[in-house]
Amino acid sequence: MRKPTICLWLGIVVLLATMRAKSQSLDSSATQPAAGTTPLIAPDGRVTFKLYMPNARAVTVGGEFALDKVTMNSDGAGLWSATVGPLRPDLYSYYFTVDGVDMPDPSNTLPKAGVLWFASQFLVPGRQADFFAARDVPHGQVHELWYTSEALGEVRRVFVYTPPGYGIDPDQRYPVLYLLHGYGDDESAWTAAGKANFIMDNLLAAGKTRPAVIVMPFGHPSRQWVINMGRPRARGGKLLLGVDAFALEKMQTELMGSVIPLIEKNFRVREDAAGRAIAGLSMGGYQALNIGLNNPSEFAYVAGFSSALLGDNKTTFGAALANADPIKSRLKLLWMGIGDKDSLLDGNQQFDAMLSAAGIKHEFVVTPGYAHSWTLWRVYLRDVLPRLFVQ
């Protein structure tokens, strides 16, 4: 009785497979790509995006690989595609826009999530991307801490990187970098997209920087705060936000009153200004420059990457710059950088001029060919880390 049953099932399987093969041979282009297969990266760095969206009228792909969105073409059977490049080795985020609606790539399992949107990521491999790769070197640990903020009245999360060998010597105290994210991101951004832990691992393995703890807090009063402020048009256009969206006063209170005490209680870190640095990107750069320059007795190293210097900087920084002696005497490094294609360039140039007029020593770098992108912020972190805690 078993033998005929097995034969019957085998016959059905063969018949179904044959029908599927014939169907695919008639119109293979209408088959949705399998999960995890896009985008397709060629050996020469060309990248092909594909999206199966049979009812769409218009599809584009945008991201860190280009300044403008790229139009995708349909094969007439529902499969949209576009090829870009060749691209230099790097990690890129991207997203599709289908009939005006943004979405991540459903066939890509490497996401980038924030407080406002989802995107996808892909890696073009090569030596230029090795500085943030997970290489065969000693690795530190990334800790995920939940705590209750009395100032903000909510349970919050902070990511903390400790370097290889942390804790072996119970008497050793490490310098600490407070590293802040941008408006659309959350506390996971500097590890998920910024690869801060791997950048630090690789620099330490090469002997190019000193071991330090990196603290990556949540930079908004709450996720609901971001929703209430409204979604900015940050992709492919200017950042339509005011500085009130950055909640500077609240976030300074949170950092100084909750985060720093939490870190100093639970980790072996230095508690002096020479052992503390603060840096950030975009909104986080604005926060870092404000908090750092207004508290030179707390932070000896301050850096802003593509800082969102919006509005009237004379009002924001006026008090600190009017009495600049503490900054001049205590600050060991003030560093700023931005891409020349970034819409925030004007504000950064104006602030550079303000610092110079106040006689404050600083470094200002304008990097050709870059817009507002993680492809630049990883480079800036790599370049700034060796400058910290050396004086």
Residue 262: which CATH number?
3.40.50.1820
> Which residues does residue 144 pair with via DSSP β-bridges, in sequence order?
159
> For position 74, what pLDDT does the model report?
95
Mean pLDDT in residue range 99-122: 91
Q: Tell me the chain's radius of gyration from C-alpha atoms.
A: 25
The set of residues, in sequence order, having a beta carbon less than 8 Å from that of 48 and lying 6+ positions away, is: 38, 39, 40, 42, 81, 82, 83
Q: Residues 226, 172: one domain?
A: yes
Q: Residues 120, 264: one domain?
A: no
> Which residues does residue 217 pair with via DSSP β-bridges, in sequence order?
158
Is 17 within a domain? Answer: no
Is 173 within a domain? Answer: yes
Separation CA 386–CA 212 (nearest Å): 11
Q: Residues 105, 231: one domain?
A: no
Is 5 within a domain? Answer: no
Q: Which of 289, 284, 346, 352 lies closest to 316 in space, CA to CA? A: 289
Residue-number span of the structural domain to which 249 is assigned: 131-387
Is 11 within a domain? Answer: no
pLDDT of residue 387 exceeding 70, the answer is yes
Of 125, 144, 174, the last residue of a domain is 125
Instruction: Dihedral sign for Cα 221, 224, 225, 230, please.
Output: positive
| The amino acid at 300 | A
Contact by Cβ (8 Å): 199, 132: yes
Q: Residues 87, 179: one domain?
A: no
Separation CA 257–CA 105 (nearest Å): 40
Alpha helices in 156-268 (DSSP H): 189-192, 196-205, 223-229, 248-254, 260-266
pLDDT digits (tens, 9 = 90+) for 193-233: 999 999 999 999 999 999 999 999 999 998 888 877 755 54
pLDDT of residue 8 exceeding 80, the answer is no
Separation CA 240–CA 183 (nearest Å): 11
pLDDT digits (tens, 9 = 90+) for 252-311: 999 999 999 999 999 999 999 999 999 999 999 999 999 999 999 999 999 999 999 987
Q: Residues 262, 152: one domain?
A: yes
Domain count, the chain: 2
Is 141 within a domain? Answer: yes
Q: Residues 82, 169: one domain?
A: no
Strand 213-217, strand 154-162: pairing: antiparallel
Q: Which of 280, 387, 253 lies closest to 331 in space, CA to CA? A: 387
Straight-line distance from the first to the last Cα atom of the chain, in angstroms, rounded to the nearest whole number: 85
Of 90, 125, 160, the last residue of a domain is 125
Q: Residues 259, 380: one domain?
A: yes
> For position 226, what pLDDT does the model report?
83
Is 348 within a domain? Answer: yes
Q: Residues 139, 119: one domain?
A: no
Q: Residues 300, 334: one domain?
A: yes
Is 330 within a domain? Answer: yes
pLDDT of residue 24 exceeding 50, the answer is no
Mean pLDDT in residue range 70-95: 96
The helix (run of H) or strand (run of E) holding residue 290 is helix 283-294
pLDDT of residue 12 exceeding 80, the answer is no
> For position 200, what pLDDT does the model report?
98
Is 67 within a domain? Answer: yes
**Any idea what DSSP says for residue 375?**
H
* pLDDT category of residue 133 using cuts at 50, 70 and 90: very high
Coil vs helix vs strand at 283:
helix
Strand 73-74, strand 111-113: pairing: unpaired
47-52, strands of its sheet edge to edge: 40-41, 47-52, 79-84, 73-74
Q: Residues 137, 49: one domain?
A: no
> For position 376, what pLDDT does the model report?
98
Q: Residues 165, 45: one domain?
A: no
Instruction: Dihedral sign for Cα 102, 107, 112, 115, please.
Output: positive
pLDDT digits (tens, 9 = 90+) for 151-177: 898 999 999 999 999 989 989 999 999
The set of residues, in sequence order, having a beta carbon less than 8 Å from that of 285 and lying 6+ positions away, is: 180, 279, 303, 304, 305, 306, 307, 308, 309, 336
Of 102, 125, 148, the last residue of a domain is 125
pLDDT of residue 22 exceeding 90, the answer is no
* pLDDT category of residue 240 using cuts at 50, 70 and 90: low
Report the interhelical angle of 313-322 vs 283-294 (nearest 10°). 20
Q: Residues 157, 292: one domain?
A: yes
Q: Find the CATH number of the domain harbouring 93.
A: 2.60.40.10
The set of residues, in sequence order, having a beta carbon less than 8 Å from that of 15 and lying 6+ positions away, is: none
| The amino acid at 68 | D
Alpha helices in 97-139 (DSSP H): none
Contact by Cβ (8 Å): 69, 60: yes
